[in-house]
Amino acid sequence: MDRLIFHIDVNSAFLSWEAARRVAEGMDDIRLVPSAVGGNPQKRTGVILAKSIPAKRFGIKTGEPVSMALRKCPDLLLAEPDFVLYNKCSGDFMDICRKYAPVVEKYSIDECFLDMSGTGMIYPDPVKTAYDIKNEIRDTLGFTVNVGIGNNKVLAKMASDFEKPDKVHTLFKTEIEKKMWPLYIRQLFTVGEATASRLEKAHIRTIGDLALSDITHIQSLIGVKAGTQLYNYANGTDESPVLSEPEEPKGYSISTTLEEDVKTIDIAFNILHALSDSISARMRADGTSAFCIGVTIRSNDFKNKSHQKKLYEPTDITSEIFEISKELFCELWDGHTPLRLIGISLTDVTKGEAMQMQLFEDAHKEKERQIDKAVDEIRNRFGNDMIMRGSSLNSTLKVGRKYKAELENKKGGNI
């Protein structure tokens, strides 16, 4: 029996959810005007998280600074992020999906996979069923989604990214050559900027070019694991299951590619602080801790370096992860090569209350755990932007000068 998978993706989720709330309260629909969600509208800081179609016509992009977006469109209507609203809307639309599918996997806050395999007796027409789900979400909750239908997760995901908004698209194995192969290689699921550049330099410009290439050639260009996966995706092969419950995490990773090269240790430490804060909160939310911390850097000539440290006891403490990450960073960086990417990984993960008793006898660590708990609770209730770790940020420049001196001694020169 062929598999039948739906992928449902909310159209411009954060902005759609804000717009739906305003319309329900009798206000204008901000989806019809140049508008965006992001940052602090009063201070004109932060980044754009979502944008309306009229805003897109001004060249406004997700992820760009709010100040830049306002220069492109001075009349841009800005809404502040509301993560309490987003979590509610996410749960509401996934509850509707669960009415139709025996297995629903939450892929992110605004998208999910539905395993509709074996439901042919109940829903003989998959396309009609997809429209029923899409329309019920729109009519009940006030925002639109795209639905992609395929024989596996990657095909359903690709299909949902076709023309938007408020659409249903199919991408079955019999349609791959016609619908997917003509697309640019950058449109293939999981292909990033660096991978796309390598493939394009090798004259692999479309998904079809990749699908018809020799797999060993692809592996030589981007590595065995990545090459095998992308070759399979280009040929419509994906055996990954739709999971009703998330798998136990084997590790966590987070990284950021910078718009401008990082050239000073002070800025690098600010970035490491933000990454440590985010990745440790994810781990605490899952009730896990890690025995191994790793740091990765990528220079502006796209060369990667990484280093890791094994711990005697597992940790989920933000400040501890931050401190070790700084040590690893200083072992990796030469002090002058511009950096394009900085990342942190947490591996050798354990679940549950795994801290050894002597950890609780360390008053400083216990205090840091209580701080982390308080910060997590405030953010869960009021959103991530509601609180930031001022003490750590205030000390970053001082700590940066300390490590700068160590780097100078290590490298025998000025930074």
Look up the CATH number of the domain holding residue 356: 3.30.1490.100
> Does 290 lie in the same domain as 351?
yes
**Residue 276: exposure state from Cβ atoms within 10 A (0-12, 13-18, ≥19):** buried
According to the model, what pLDDT value does residue 109 have? 86
Res 356: pLDDT:
42
The single-letter code of the amino acid at 407 is L
Q: Are 101 and 225 part of one and the same domain?
A: no
One domain, residues 102 and 146: yes
Classify residue 273: in a domain, yes or no: yes
Instruction: Residue 190: give the domain boundaries.
Output: 181-234
Q: What is the pLDDT of residue 354?
A: 42
Indicate if 131 and 230 belong to the same structural domain.
Answer: no
* Per-residue pLDDT, 383: 52
CATH code of the domain in which 191 resides:
1.10.150.20
- pLDDT value of position 65: 87
The whole-number pLDDT of residue 261 equals 83
The one-digit pLDDT tens for each residue of the chain (415 residues) are 589 999 999 998 999 999 999 999 999 999 999 999 987 666 666 788 889 999 999 999 888 888 889 999 999 999 988 888 888 999 999 999 999 998 999 988 899 999 999 888 899 999 999 999 999 999 999 999 999 999 999 999 999 999 989 999 999 999 999 999 999 999 999 888 889 999 999 999 999 999 999 999 999 999 999 999 999 999 999 999 998 866 666 788 888 877 678 888 888 998 899 899 888 888 888 888 899 999 999 888 778 899 999 988 888 889 999 999 999 999 999 888 999 889 999 998 887 544 443 444 466 666 777 777 777 776 556 554 444 555 344 433 343 444 444 444 444 443 3
Tell me, what's the pLDDT at 397?
38
Residues 6+ apart with CB under 8 A from 184: 205, 206, 207
Whole-angstrom Cα distance, residue 301 to residue 299? 5
Quote the pLDDT of residue 311. 87
Give the position of tokens 């980044």. Answer: 47
Q: What's the CA gap between 365 and 313, in Å, rounded?
A: 12
Taking residue 402's Cβ as centre, other Cβ atoms within 10 Å add up to 12
Same domain for 258 and 225: no
Q: What is the largest CA-CA distance in the chain?
A: 74
The answer to whether residues 318 and 208 belong to one domain is no
Q: What is the DSSP string of 250-269?
A: SEEEEEEEEEEEE-SHHHHH
- 212 lies in the same domain as 313: no
Domain identity same for 45 and 121: yes
Report yes or no on 246 lying in a domain. no
Among 170, 199, 223, residue at a domain's last position: 170
Residue 67 pLDDT: 86
- The answer to whether position 266 is within a domain reads yes
- The one catalytic residue among 111, 247, 323, 408: 111
Note the pLDDT of residue 45.
64
The pLDDT assigned to 74 comes to 92
119 domain-assigned? yes
- Which residues touch 374 (CB under 8 Å, ≥6 apart)? none
The CA-based dihedral angle spanning residues 310, 311, 312, 317, taken in that order and rounded to the nearest 10 degrees:
-160
Instruction: Give the count of beta carbons closer than 10 Å to the beta carbon of residue 110.
Output: 23
Amino acid making up residue 103:
V
Q: Same structural domain for residues 139 and 162?
A: yes
Three-class DSSP category at 242:
coil
Nearest-angstrom CA–CA distance, 94 and 102:
12
Per-residue confidence (pLDDT) for residue 303, from 0 to 100: 82
* Active site (annotated) includes residue 323: no
**355 and 407, same domain (yes or no):** yes
Same domain assignment for residues 196 and 153: no
Is the domain of 259 the same as that of 399?
yes
Q: Provide the β-strand partners of residue 47.
A: 65
Residue 73 lies in a domain: yes
Secondary structure of residue 294 in the 3-state scheme? strand
Query: For the chain, how many structural domains are there in total?
Result: 3
Residue 202 lies in a domain: yes
Per DSSP, the three-state class of 343 is: strand
3-state secondary structure of 395: helix
Identify the CATH number of the domain in which residue 62 sits: 3.30.70.270
